Structure 1
Amino acid sequence: MTSWRRVTAATSSATLRLIAFIFLRWIPGHHFVPIVFTSLAVYLSTLFSLLRDDGVQDRRKEKPRKRTSKLPPSSVPAKTSESALKTLLTGLPSARSPALTWTTALINVLLALLTLDFLIRGFVLYPSNDVAFARIGYISPTTANLLLREPDPAQWPVVISYQEETAQKWVEEGKVYKLDDSTDFTAAVTLKKLKPVTHYRYSLSNNKTGSFVTSPEPGSSAATRMSFVTSSCLKPNFPYNILSHPLRVPGVEQMSAAISKLPALLRPAFMLFLGDFIYIDVPFRFGSSMSHYRSEYRRIYSSPSWTITQAANQPRALDLPWIHTLDDHEIENDWSAGNKTAPYPAAADPFIHYHVRANPPIPRNAFAPPDEVTYFSFVNGPASFFMLDTRTYRSEPAQENSTILGSAQLQSLLAYLSAPEPAGVRWKFVASSVPFTKNWHVGTTDTWGGFLDERRAVFEAMWRAERELGIRVVLLSGDRHEFGATRFLDPSLDNLAPSDFAEGAGVGIHEFSVGPLSMFYLPIRSYYQTDDQDVAIKYAPNGNSKFGLIDIEDGLDELGSESGSVRASVLTYSLYVDGDVVWKYQLSVPLDHRGADATVANSALPFPPGKVLEDHVLPAGWVLLAKNAIGRAEELGKCTALKATALYNDLLEKMRKTERLD
């Protein structure tokens, strides 16, 4: 008869192995860590108890009995093999072989050690206090923001110089005489008096070098095209690899390799990174002080992936200008407690020093003091951008008068949307760290789905901008560790056909939400269309590394056999998954389309519908259908629990009022 100790040993062994696999290769959740080590403690204590069992010891000492079975000798090894396989799979001790017992125990100990290695190797062995680097942030036609870190006093003052790639003379921009702990030894310098659309090199006296290209002058012939990449969310050494450097970021390397294969005209001008640059609470929060947050930024910038190249002519990831928005894991998961509550002040300090200082300028109409603004706006080529901060100013979601932007930022965004753009600007991009769509049905309230009244006000301003300004609005977001493309139809249009509300390409404001750049992807499929407001175009959940390449250029847009083609500013969105293009989509703005004065053949629509150019995303099979069912069941269970709680609270309130003594 099976003893409770054998059941406990087998159960704890199976739990440890399953959870360790999930933690190291699937989702590095902090709640998995104590399960792994508790399971190991239970397993080892039970195993040693079994080994001390007199019966086990006696069976080991027994001499082999004569084989009385009538079966042929060849059948005996099979029984031994079956016993060995059972031991290795279950973790139970073997009565026949102590070596097998210790082997299966060693497997469990090794999995726990690998979990510990992933958890602490980077944190303990790489504090990165001495990391020195320089990178380019926002670039305009005549300026470039350079951020540097140099903690070694022997390298001070740091002299910053630059030159055109075709020139011999270096221009000294200035010197940073001293850096200190108040900024974690960082400083921002603006390189000035640059020429538009020109290749430059920069050099620092501490041997840090790099290159960049200035953006075109608005309205110039070069301003008709531009490309950039966008993504969110990165975590070093995940999926876990024991042989990898603990600070290596595979997705950054894959992106760099993919970019290096592009023609020169398609090379991105910048990376628009939409939050979760660090994960302070994944897999485990070691502290909430300013020093802990700073150390996470230092570790990311210490990653060898910034400078790894596969070929001599491949650009380094560090040479791609990065501009940043803020999201929750740079503070705390699902943060909604404002900018005064701890740990926000500690989290904001390194975000400001490492990212804000190199970011674009704040909007002209910020409606708040400049030093309190963490949302940004800029123009590059044929597009203007508004980078939202959806964490600093938000209130508790799904409440009356909930806000995700705060009053000042909301007014600034509405002013941006209503303002005409310079000649040649055909696109307005609004970048949000969390998705606008409510088609994700897990964690919906942490997105714009928890702030639907404010979302409606913003959408109305966007639809109005498209109708009156003739400029197309595109939404970019991250956070979800999946890709989802969604359309939002203008309800004021009375010429929409039933097909416009069906899933797939078509008309409407478009959102492209993509991530992670290097992190886990969700095992539960939770994105699907439920109404006619958020129309699903494409869902691509798989892949530990995903980013979008957006390319805009003037060309011809084929409007159909009846309408022919027109000159247009054409946007092509390319989705990269694990280094390969798996989906392409096209939007366009006819160049003679200006609101009510449009002369395009199909001007009954605000803009031509989007079109799928390529689709290599694997179709949904039975596994995906099953996971969708799990996601919907989870949503139903959550809704049921919330309703039950609400009914219970209502009942308590009624009882309180009934029993109250006046």
Structure 2
Amino acid sequence: MAPLLRVVAATSSTVVRLFSFIFLRWIPGHPFVPIVFTSLVVYLSSLFSLLNGQGASNERAEKKQKTTSKRTQRSDGEESGDSALKTLLTGLPSKRSPRWTWMTAIINVILAILTLDFLIRSIVAYPSSDAAFSRIGYVSPTTANLLFREPDMAQLPVVVSYQESEPASKKWTQEGTVYKLDNTTDFTTSVTLKNLKPSTHYKYSLSNNKTGTFVTAPRPGSPVANRLSFVTSSCLKPNFPYSILSHPLRVPGIEQMTEALGKLPALLKPAFMLFLGDFIYIDVPFRFGSSIDHYRSEYRRIYSSPSWAYSSVDGPAIDLPWIHTLDDHEIENDWSRGNKTAPYPAAADPFIHYHVSANPPVPEKPFAHPDNVTYFSFVNGPASFFMLDTRTYRSEPTMENSTILGSAQLQSLLAYLARPEPSGVRWKIISSSVPFTKNWHVGTTDTWGGFLKERRTVFEAMWQAEREQGIRIILLSGDRHEFAATRFPDPELSLSSDELQPNTAGRGIHEFSVGPLSMFYLPIRTYYQTDIEDVSVKYAPDGNSKFGLLDIADDFEEAGPDASSPAPVRSSVLTYSLYVDGEVVWQYRLSVPHSYDPAAHAAGSGKSMHLPPGRVVEDKLVAEGWDAVFKTALGTAEMLVKEVVQKATMVYYKVLEKL
């Protein structure tokens, strides 16, 4: 009996340490918590049994039969093999050194306590019902959407005022007064600051002592409207990787991003953050409820993070305007059951109050009532944006008529793609919470890879828009906790096999998928090219904090091979900079020549003109080593296991239904 107990003790001790480490520093998955605590109970039970001498009679019988057996002396734990190091590493008791026995037991208990601390401290200690904050959302040339929360009724009414930052002595303009805030909106409201000047620095002030700054967008057609910088990312979770010394609501990625952006020259300062979903993780590491208040409390905790006050030379992090899309962890993992099924209605409530109310306007042609639309469109400088909602209207993937957008949103997107842009707008930027590429081979059906028929319809409209309108289309996405750049070549380009090889820059609609802003990254490799439809450009999986900085500006670029002259031409140039843990590690450049007019070129030469290929500007990422094969194999194994589990679950439920 004793040898079996020793195996159980050593195994359960190892499980406690391994899975608590994974949970706290690697992946905060909900299965690890019950594993850690169950293993701790098993370990302590077997440890006390060994210490109390259970099974001692068997050991004495063995001693009588073979008193000189070295193997029996070692299993008894009283000979030379019974070392302090062995006790600390395995968790097995040492009768010679009770101090080390208790020390190794305390280590396991502490690890379980740290797991519990990460799980519940923020919820218990920071309900954040008294959270008060203000922030700027969408900013146009003449307006700015201001969102604030004020639960203290003694602060009402709240007077909203603003003034130009320079000169600071300028008189304040009162925008309005908010007389009532209540629980119907979780004490939030949005106010639109109007009659602003384009490209102007402003300061706003609330009578409850909340203040902030912002800069209005440029006037369309003005000289400064040919430039735009903004950042994009997705996915954040407070205090991860876990640190007991850190504030439980601290978001390290926000602080790293604020510090990195503070080092940029004035021309590169971002106008806004385009955040592509998973702003909260209601079900990670554990879902404590699905009511409206549970979802609201998660938003309040994020906005109560001390990281928003983290400041650089440009001011605190909260001063950067954020605009938002919705993804699954704001509802439920891999959500695909529409906007009527629970818990979607409860999840949508705070998303609307905290984010939609400060977001850009809905598209010109939403093909649905504006009150029921959660996709958005706007123009800023040289770029036009369409922000997709790939969760609210989707159906189950991989079916004949599966839709990720829904009929109304798909029609609205196609109308947007077919619409010519105003003079000076040379980029259509389409954001999606999940990637367009099917090169990710774990969870593929949760991305556009599960809706390939609809993806093809969208891609054909994109290729046609590039061919006919003289603009370039860029896709931005998140969700995957990794970075990948992918291009989707127009079949009419008739590219050679060399131009379609993996890990190559070149032609095609480009997608930049990045995340997390502050969360775990996948330790396995799941992205790789399998056909010539989705051509991989760059893959960067590592890093707990990743975001992209997109800068669009006029510059001189080398003309593409279709140009009549090899001389550099004036172009609108987009530079994508990938930041990992606060440092630039990769840069990529795309351009649209000012003289690019595919229709005119085709009429004169009989063939269409093509956009110049993309090119890598800087690459500090180390090439994958021998471990990449091992990690890719792990990713493939995980994909197979997940498929088996899904099929087994489906069979299980079918049997239950019949019974």
Q: Does 1:627 align with 2:631?
A: yes
**Aligned letter for 1:451?**
F
Q: Deviations over 1:424-477 (max 9, x none)?
A: 000000000000000000000000000000000000000000000011000000
Structure 2 gaps of 5+ residues are 60-67, 69-78
Q: Does 1:591 align with 2:588?
A: no
Superposed displacement of residue 499, structure 1: 1.8
**Distance in 2 of aligned mates of 1:457 and 1:157:** 51
- The question of whether the paired residues in 1 share the 8 Å contact of 2:119 and 2:285 is answered with yes
**1:104 maps to what in 2?**
104
Superposed displacement of residue 618, structure 1: 1.9
**2:613 maps to what in 1?**
609
**Distance in 2 of aligned mates of 1:41 and 1:185:** 44
**Distance in 2 of aligned mates of 1:463 and 1:598:** 17
**Distance in 1 of aligned mates of 2:53 and 2:114:** 30
Identity of aligned residues (%): 72
**1:298 maps to what in 2?**
300
- The question of whether the paired residues in 2 share the 8 Å contact of 1:56 and 1:95 is answered with no
- The question of whether the paired residues in 1 share the 8 Å contact of 2:601 and 2:609 is answered with no
**Distance in 2 of aligned mates of 1:218 and 1:20:** 54
The secondary structure found in structure 1 opposite 2:250 is: coil
**Aligned letter for 2:143?**
T
Superposed displacement of residue 210, structure 1: 0.3
TM-score, with length taken from structure 2: 0.92
Q: Does 1:287 align with 2:271?
A: no
The secondary structure found in structure 1 opposite 2:315 is: coil
Superposed displacement of residue 634, structure 1: 3.6
**1:660 maps to what in 2?**
none
- The question of whether the paired residues in 2 share the 8 Å contact of 1:200 and 1:212 is answered with yes
- The question of whether the paired residues in 1 share the 8 Å contact of 2:585 and 2:620 is answered with yes
Change in Cα spacing, 1:17 to 1:160, as seen in structure 2 (3 Å) is: same
**2:176 maps to what in 1?**
174
**Distance in 1 of aligned mates of 2:509 and 2:429:** 11
Q: Deviations over 1:622-644 (max 9, x none)?
A: 12221012223444566678899
**2:431 maps to what in 1?**
431
**1:145 maps to what in 2?**
145
Superposed displacement of residue 122, structure 1: 0.1
Change in Cα spacing, 1:355 to 1:506, as seen in structure 2 (3 Å) is: same
**Distance in 2 of aligned mates of 1:151 and 1:640:** 49
**Distance in 2 of aligned mates of 1:637 and 1:152:** 51
Superposed displacement of residue 598, structure 1: 3.9
- The question of whether the paired residues in 2 share the 8 Å contact of 1:563 and 1:601 is answered with no
Equivalent positions of 1:575-586 (< 5 A) are 575-586=578-589
Change in Cα spacing, 1:379 to 1:367, as seen in structure 2 (3 Å) is: same
**Distance in 2 of aligned mates of 1:247 and 1:604:** 54
The secondary structure found in structure 1 opposite 2:568 is: strand
Q: Deviations over 1:10-58 (max 9, x none)?
A: 0000011000000000000001100000000000111111110068799
Range with greater deviation from structure 2 (259-268 or 163-172): 163-172
**1:443 maps to what in 2?**
443
Structure 1 gaps of 5+ residues are 60-67, 69-78, 657-662
Superposed displacement of residue 162, structure 1: 0.4
Matched pairs, number:
629
Change in Cα spacing, 1:644 to 1:133, as seen in structure 2 (3 Å) is: closer
**Distance in 1 of aligned mates of 2:347 and 2:180:** 24
Q: Deviations over 1:47-84 (max 9, x none)?
A: 1111100687999xxxxxxxx9xxxxxxxxxx869711
**Aligned letter for 2:618?**
E
Q: Deviations over 1:555-589 (max 9, x none)?
A: 10123797221110000000000000000000000
Change in Cα spacing, 1:430 to 1:222, as seen in structure 2 (3 Å) is: same
**1:206 maps to what in 2?**
208
**2:48 maps to what in 1?**
48
**2:252 maps to what in 1?**
250
The secondary structure found in structure 2 opposite 1:547 is: strand
- The question of whether the paired residues in 1 share the 8 Å contact of 2:485 and 2:537 is answered with yes
The secondary structure found in structure 1 opposite 2:160 is: strand
The secondary structure found in structure 2 opposite 1:130 is: coil
Equivalent positions of 1:513-532 (< 5 A) are 513-532=513-532
Equivalent positions of 1:23-422 (< 5 A) are 23-53=23-53, 83-167=83-167, 168=169, 169-309=171-311, 313-422=313-422
**Distance in 2 of aligned mates of 1:55 and 1:501:** 67
Change in Cα spacing, 1:54 to 1:127, as seen in structure 2 (3 Å) is: closer
**1:466 maps to what in 2?**
466
**Distance in 2 of aligned mates of 1:245 and 1:410:** 43
Change in Cα spacing, 1:58 to 1:502, as seen in structure 2 (3 Å) is: closer
**Distance in 2 of aligned mates of 1:379 and 1:41:** 58
**Distance in 1 of aligned mates of 2:637 and 2:266:** 48
Superposed displacement of residue 619, structure 1: 1.2
Superposed displacement of residue 178, structure 1: 1.1
- The question of whether the paired residues in 2 share the 8 Å contact of 1:143 and 1:214 is answered with yes
Change in Cα spacing, 1:186 to 1:602, as seen in structure 2 (3 Å) is: farther
The secondary structure found in structure 2 opposite 1:564 is: coil
**Distance in 1 of aligned mates of 2:523 and 2:246:** 24
Superposed displacement of residue 397, structure 1: 0.4
Change in Cα spacing, 1:568 to 1:87, as seen in structure 2 (3 Å) is: same
**Distance in 2 of aligned mates of 1:602 and 1:292:** 62
Superposed displacement of residue 602, structure 1: 14
Change in Cα spacing, 1:641 to 1:43, as seen in structure 2 (3 Å) is: closer
**Distance in 2 of aligned mates of 1:645 and 1:361:** 42
**Aligned letter for 1:211?**
T
- The question of whether the paired residues in 2 share the 8 Å contact of 1:257 and 1:314 is answered with no
Q: Deviations over 1:298-334 (max 9, x none)?
A: 000000000112x5x2421100000000000000000
**Aligned letter for 1:174?**
G
The secondary structure found in structure 1 opposite 2:491 is: coil
The secondary structure found in structure 2 opposite 1:19 is: helix
The secondary structure found in structure 2 opposite 1:492 is: helix
TM-score, with length taken from structure 1: 0.92
**Distance in 1 of aligned mates of 2:582 and 2:250:** 16
**Aligned letter for 2:456?**
R
**Distance in 2 of aligned mates of 1:559 and 1:237:** 47
The secondary structure found in structure 2 opposite 1:288 is: coil
Q: CA RMSD in A?
A: 2.4
**Aligned letter for 1:520?**
F
Superposed displacement of residue 596, structure 1: 2.0
Change in Cα spacing, 1:305 to 1:37, as seen in structure 2 (3 Å) is: same
**2:75 maps to what in 1?**
none
**Distance in 1 of aligned mates of 2:109 and 2:645:** 39
Q: Deviations over 1:225-261 (max 9, x none)?
A: 0000000000000000000000000000000000000
Superposed displacement of residue 423, structure 1: 0.6
**2:64 maps to what in 1?**
none
**1:659 maps to what in 2?**
none
- The question of whether the paired residues in 2 share the 8 Å contact of 1:274 and 1:431 is answered with yes
The secondary structure found in structure 1 opposite 2:393 is: coil
